Amino acid sequence: MNILIITQYFWPEIFRINDLALGLKERGYKVEILTGKPNYPKGGFFPGYGFWTRSREEYQGIPVTRVPLVRRAGGGRCRLVLNYLSFAFFASLWVLFTRRTNDDLIFVYQPSPVTVGLPAVLFKKRKGIPLFFWVQDLWPESLFDTGYIRHVAILNCVRRVVRWIYERCNFILVQSRAFFPYIQAYGIEEGRIFYFPNSTEDFYRPISAKENIINLQEFPKGFCVLFAGSIGEAQDFGTLLAAAERLKSDPEIHWVIFGEGRKRPWVEDQVKIRGLGGCFHLMGWRDPMFMPHYFSMAGALLVSLKGGPIFATTIPAKVQSYLACGKPIISALDGEGSRVIEESGAGIVSPSGDPEALADAVLKMFRLSEKEREAMGHQGRLYFERNFDRNILLDRLDSLIQKTVLSHREWVKCYKESVEK
Residue 143: per-residue pLDDT = 86
Examine residue 205 and state whether it is found in any structural domain, yes or no.
Answer: no
38 and 114 inside one domain: yes
Share above pLDDT 70 across residues of the chain, in percent, rounded to a whole number? 98
User: Do 102 and 250 sit in the same domain of this protein?
Assistant: no
CA distance 85 to 335: 31
Contact yes or no for 295/264 (Cβ under 8 A): no
CA torsion angle for 25, 31, 36, 42 (degrees, to 10)?
-10
Same domain, 368 and 409: no
Domain of 240, CATH number, reads 3.40.50.2000
- Looking at residue 418, its pLDDT comes to 67
Question: Model confidence over 216-264: pLDDT tens digits?
Answer: 777 899 999 999 999 998 999 999 999 999 999 999 999 999 999 889 9
Is residue 269 domain-resident?
yes
pLDDT band at residue 19 using 50, 70 and 90 as cut-offs: very high
Whether residue 164 sits in one domain with residue 247:
no
Domain membership flag for residue 221: yes
Number of domains, the chain: 2
82 and 162 share a domain?
A: yes
Same domain, 40 and 178: yes
Report pLDDT digits (tens) over 84-119: 999 999 999 999 999 988 999 999 999 989 999 999
Range of the domain at 267: 216-387
137/275 same-domain check: no
Same domain, yes or no, for 222 and 139?
Answer: no
Name the residue type at position 82. L
> Are residues 186 and 75 located together in one domain of the fold?
yes
Least confident stretch, 52-61, 267-276, 412-421:
412-421
Phi-psi region of 267 (alpha: psi -120 to 50; beta: other; left: phi over 0): alpha
Q: Is 179 a domain residue?
A: yes
Same domain, 154 and 248: no
Q: Is residue 12 one of the residues assigned to a domain?
A: yes
**194, part of any domain:** yes
Average pLDDT, whole number, for the chain?
94
The alpha helices in 63-102, defined as continuous H runs, are 77-97
Average pLDDT over residues 268-288: 96
Q: Are residues 227 and 291 in the same domain?
A: yes
Q: For the segment 326-378, what is each residue's pLDDT rounded down to a tens digit?
A: 999 999 999 999 999 999 999 999 999 999 999 999 999 999 999 999 999 99
Residue 211 belongs to a domain: no
Q: Report yes or no: 303 and 332 within 8 Å, Cβ to Cβ.
A: yes
Q: Which residue type, as a one-letter code, is found at position 404?
A: T
pLDDT tens for 291-335 read: 999 999 999 999 999 998 889 999 999 999 999 999 999 999 999
Q: What percent of the chain has pLDDT over 90?
A: 86
Give the DSSP H/E element, type plus range, for residue 59: strand 56-59
Q: Do 353 and 399 fall within a single domain?
A: no
Per residue in 155-170, pLDDT (tens digit) is: 999 999 999 999 999 9
- Is 204 inside any structural domain? no
